[in-house]
């Protein structure tokens, strides 16, 4: 009785040359197919990871833009209060125009931090209250304190 390995070797030796050529050509093609499959799977995982990273950085970017708006408004207010020159109110006015859409954008983000809603409302309330407050630039303009 022959071992299975010995039988396979004998079958290979007695097979026609055409079949041997087909088998020898198929082995590298099979390796190429397996390699291409792994490359495709790796690329799809990389794309998913990049999408996740971009999605997680979106709130951070929006919060940085919101901070910039608030700082610009504060800087414009300070410049106006120090100099009483209305051109310093430009950053303040521009920040107020862009504040509400930026807050709405932050609220619309699905992965926003659970407690972010009340804090965004507080920022919005504070920014809207500034022009009418006794120390905001709006009250100074209404009072006629222009330079």
Quick check: is 138 in a domain? Answer: yes
**Which structure tokens are listed for 36?**
């291409």
Q: Chain-centre distance of CA 132, in angstroms?
A: 36
pLDDT at 54: 84
Q: Which domain holds residue 114?
A: 15-142
Quick check: is 116 in a domain? Answer: yes
Quick check: is 8 in a domain? Answer: no
> Has this prediction a pTM greater than 0.85?
no
- Kindly indicate the confidence band of residue 57, based on its pLDDT and cuts at 50, 70 and 90: confident
Quick check: is 109 in a domain? Answer: yes
Q: Are 64 and 24 in contact (CB under 8 A)?
A: no
pLDDT digits (tens, 9 = 90+) for 135-147: 445 555 444 454 4
Quick check: is 29 in a domain? Answer: yes
3-state secondary structure of 45: helix
Quick check: is 129 in a domain? Answer: yes
Structural domain count, the chain: 1
| Average per-residue pLDDT for the chain | 82
pLDDT digits (tens, 9 = 90+) for 22-38: 999 999 999 999 999 99
Quick check: is 88 in a domain? Answer: yes
Quick check: is 9 in a domain? Answer: no
- Residue 135 and residue 115: Cα distance in Å, rounded? 30
φ/ψ bin of 128: left (φ > 0), alpha (ψ from -120 to 50), beta (otherwise)? alpha
């Amino acid at each position: 009785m022959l071992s299975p390995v010995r039988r396979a070797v004998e079958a290979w030796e007695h097979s026609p040359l055409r079949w041997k050529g087909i088998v020898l050509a198929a082995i590298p093609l099979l390796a190429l197919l397996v390699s291409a499959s792994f490359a495709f799977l790796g690329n799809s995982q990389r794309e998913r990871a990049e999408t996740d990273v971009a999605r997680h950085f979106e709130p951070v970017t929006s919060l940085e833009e919101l901070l910039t708006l608030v700082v610009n408004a504060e800087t414009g207010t300070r410049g106006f209060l120090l100099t009483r020159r209305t051109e310093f109110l430009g950053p303040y006015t521009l920040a107020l125009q862009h504040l509400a859409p930026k807050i709405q954008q932050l609220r619309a983000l699905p992965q926003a931090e659970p407690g972010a809603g009340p804090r965004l409302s507080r920022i919005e309330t504070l920014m809207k209250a500034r022009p009418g407050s006794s120390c905001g630039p709006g009250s100074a303009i209404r009072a006629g304190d222009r330079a």
